[in-house]
Every structure is written in structure tokens, then in C-alpha cells.
Amino acid sequence: MKKALLIIGVVFLGFVMSGCKQDQGPIEDDSDNGNVSYDQVQAIFDQNCISCHPSSGNLDLRRGQSYNQLVNVPASGYQGLRVSPGHSDQSVLYGKIDGSGRYGSNMPLGGSLSQQQIDLIKDWIDQGARNQ
């Protein structure tokens, strides 16, 4: 009887172990990794911002200029950086578009970005504000 129970236990354990898979961490889907590209952010600037922030003035948001004008650059008239990579909550750019009013007038003046556009800029900043 002990031998029969031992055999049944070993067979059962074999079935249980064969169904187990080693945990290899989260599965990444390379086709849509959720990363926001700077081209997506620039498209928002192109559509909503460059009419007031062209080459004149202290902020140029035109394609080819905007990234170097934003990331790790001290904000004119405010404490902090225009964009602090990884920290939308500390970035003046995000504070100007989120509707909070913590950095004065909301941008763009006389209008607003869609919530999807605001979220996309926030995600880009929080993902490290990469230039790619």
C-alpha cells in the first residue's frame, strides 16, 4: 500500500511540475511598448505652439530647435527646469499645459490641448524625455 501511494505521489508530482513554468518577468510587446517618441510631442507643438513660440523670443518650439530649448533648461521666470526628465510634476512645461495654473497662464494662450495631448506630453516627460 505504501509503495502504491508513493508511486501515485510521484506521478502526481510529475504532472504538477510539468505544468509549472519558470517566471521570466513581465512579457514585453515590442510592437507597442507604450513609449512616447519626441516626434509625437513635436507634432503637438507644430499644431498648437509654434505660432507663438517661433524663432523670436526666449522659447523656440520649431522642429529641430525645441528639444534643446526644453530638456534640462532652466525655465525663464520660474524656479525649475522647463522639462525635468522623469519628473512631469517638476517640469514647468507640464505645469503650463495641465490646467493647474501653478505656472501662470495655461498654454496655449486662448485655447487648450486635448486631454490626450496633455497625457502624451506627461508620459514623454515621465519616460525620461528622450529625443527619439
- pTM attached to this predicted model: 0.74
| Domain limits for position 84 | 35-126
3 belongs to a structural domain: no
The C-alpha cell that represents 85 in the structure block: 526628465
Contact (CB, 8 A) for 125 and 87: yes
7 belongs to a structural domain: no
The residue ranking higher by pLDDT, 56 or 61, is 61
pLDDT bucket at 32, cuts 50 / 70 / 90: low
Is residue 26 predicted with pLDDT exceeding 60? Answer: no
Structural domains counted in the chain: 1
89 belongs to a structural domain: yes
1 belongs to a structural domain: no
Q: Which residues contact 52 (CB under 8 A, 6 or more apart)?
A: 108, 109
52 belongs to a structural domain: yes
5 belongs to a structural domain: no
